[in-house]
Amino acid sequence: MLHDVLHAPEPAGADDLALFGRLVGAWRLSWSGREPDGTWSTAVGELHVGRVLGGRAVQDVWVVPGPGEPGAGVPPRAFHGTTVRFPDPRHPGTWRSTWMDPVNGRVRRFTGRPTGDGGVVLLSDDEEPWLRWRFSDVRPDAFTWSAETSHDGGRSWVHDEVMRAERTA
């Protein structure tokens, strides 16, 4: 019953969810991230994206490392979280997004906008550090997601993570 109420087969409006709706489906993730000592580590994960809330929002579930992979579910590097994203009807072209990661006890709010080249940039600047997430090179079968942090109010950014996604279904 929850599935019937939560999930939606189509967007509520013709193009309302096009920006993130094109990601609906299942994805394999190749993750790389910066460790506290500055070195980079890697993991394999998965992403599942669907339309929700009567077709008014897009929800994604990110699992890195994926089930059965080394380090699955072990903080701080592992994350198993969800994001709900929706176009803000008061600000055309703007998306609201909230990320929840119970493995690490994190909740962050983002404002997103298209970049003009088919990508999306999301900014969370309501607490330190600021976070900037990007979806780029978006194609029907692949995309790149990257994360940056700023500890000085957006004057400088450090690249922390990158994920390459390949559609599986």
pLDDT at 13 over 80: no
ω into residue 140 within 30 of 0, thus cis? no
Domain count, the chain: 1
Structural domain of 52: 2-167
pLDDT at 3 over 90: no
| pLDDT tens-digit readout, 71-125 | 777 766 778 999 999 999 999 889 999 999 998 899 999 999 999 898 999 999 9
Length of the chain as a residue count: 169
For 40-55, give one letter per residue: b (16+ CB within 10 A) or e. Answer: eeebebbbbbbbbeeb
| pLDDT tens-digit readout, 135-159 | 999 999 999 999 999 999 999 999 9
Average pLDDT of the segment spanning 34-55: 90
**Which is it for the CA torsion 169, 161, 39, 76, positive or negative?**
negative
Give the dihedral of Cα atoms 96, 109, 28, 53; nearest 10 deg.
-50
Name the average pLDDT for the chain. 89
* CATH number (domain holding residue 142): 2.40.128.20
130-139 and 120-124 strand pairing: antiparallel
Q: What angle is formed at CA 168 by the lines to CA 70 and CA 13, rounded to 5 degrees?
A: 120
